[in-house]
A and B are shown apart, each in its own frame.
Chain A
Amino acid sequence: MLIRAFALFLLALAFAPAHAQKAAILTVYTHPSFAAEWGPGPAVKEAFEQTCNCQINYVVLDSGGDILQRLRLEGKSTQADVVLGLDTATMETTRQTGLLANHETDLSALNLPINWQDPVFVPYDWGYFAFVYDTEQLPNPPKSLEALIAAPDDLKIIIQDPRTSTPGLGLLLWMRHVYGDQAAEKWAQLNGKILTTTKSWSDGYFSLFMNGEAPMILSYSTSPAYHMAVDKTDRYQAAQFEEGHYLQVEVAALVDSSDQKKLGREFLDFMLSADFQRHIPLKNVMYPATDLGDELPSVFDKLIQPEEALYFDPKTVSDNRRQWMNEWLDAMTR
């Protein structure tokens, strides 16, 4: 009896994919928080599948870096039709693989702090890097990067490592943008305040910041939105810095070897529609790439509004990253 049930179960498993193959399948490589049950992934999938006779199949990779690495390894034989979850730091390297196709999406609806005209990458959300602080531990956070650097060393901050994490790299670029060639010196001054440099954002936020280890952590300006909207607490806020904040844009692109290019382009177009974008603010906790008007949750009005968006062209980043990284390492280990 048990064996029979098991055999039936196996049979069902064997036929399940075969059955699903009737409709066209769009394979999307993405990262875990996008595809999470409560992330934008499932909602977007449902909305898009209603407009097309197709099915979205997410393949979840650890990070943007992994998506790129996977794409490089698979080359032209990749199953991916669309890659979603790269950002301005990994964009250029991905472009250089030559594995991506132009999008043909109308970018006029974009509502980013910068002008975006890239032929390959379509942004789907954006945000600023910022230091999030615990108002109970730190009622008066520094008002500028300069003030943070000049603060006494008993103000502790948690940052992420630019060698292994996106926000970490963001801070590196932020410092570079503000201080240019003086960045290394400023890093050396900042060093005494850095409690630790974690591998990933999650390690720092969960293990350290939420345990109260330091009152400030490198994060996103949108982080408080989640705490305010879902956790219903104003305790965690982002500190607004006078010099401006470094911008991160998350992008998607079409894979050149895809046999579902038409569908893929439809998906990229759909990405800039309200049906996709409305899931971004609270489910991805970032700014939507288009103007959502009244649909933007009200907590977003309470977030900091940086006066200037700091941004390096992806090409500049890709050309200089290694050198800037080495300067940073030097300054930090001296």
Chain B
Amino acid sequence: MLEVRNLVFAYPDQESPWNFHFTVEPGQCIAIHGASGSGKSTLMNLLAGFLEPQSGDILWQDESLRQRAPWQRPITSVFQEHNLFEHLNVETNIGLGIHPGLKLTSEDQQAIEQGLDSVGLEGFGKRLPGDLSGGQRQRVALLRALLRQKPILLLDEPLTGLDSDARHLLRQLLLEEKARGTLIVLASHDKEDRKLLADSVHRL
């Protein structure tokens, strides 16, 4: 179970700090809902460990994550954009998610190839992210996140601005992932996304 317990954070010139408090079970998806500027991305950054809370705690299976560095947390994330290293090709981007030094076994290579096939990006391995469309980039980012097999998946507007085909494919992938027991924290403006994926809604 993921428990966000009275997590308090404020930017230096912010008057009233945010206070996040909720729990989610594995296999469930919680949608974070709120106007822009209501702290959705901040929450994501706190969970991922990119920001440090002023107080409160994040517990996963009753263990505190607060002291853990981003790379030590059981978390992987996909944001609306900037998910890929622009100077590295698709294969390398995914490979670094599997092993941070790109020391890949032949099974890993195979996994990448088959993964690309399964998201409809056959033969795109050598392309640079800049040569892909927004939808294609998000598919790569999501594929990497899935191959990382972390129990918690953070999604910050992952489908915003994509065409309907890409949107459909990614939604299917996410539903499958949820069914496999992955816990999803979803921040989305999109009503349909929320309806389709979320089991509960947390309002900010």
Q: Do chains A and B touch in the complex (CB under 8 A)?
A: no
Q: Measuring CB to CB, which residues of chain A are less than 8 angstroms from any residue of chain B? A: none
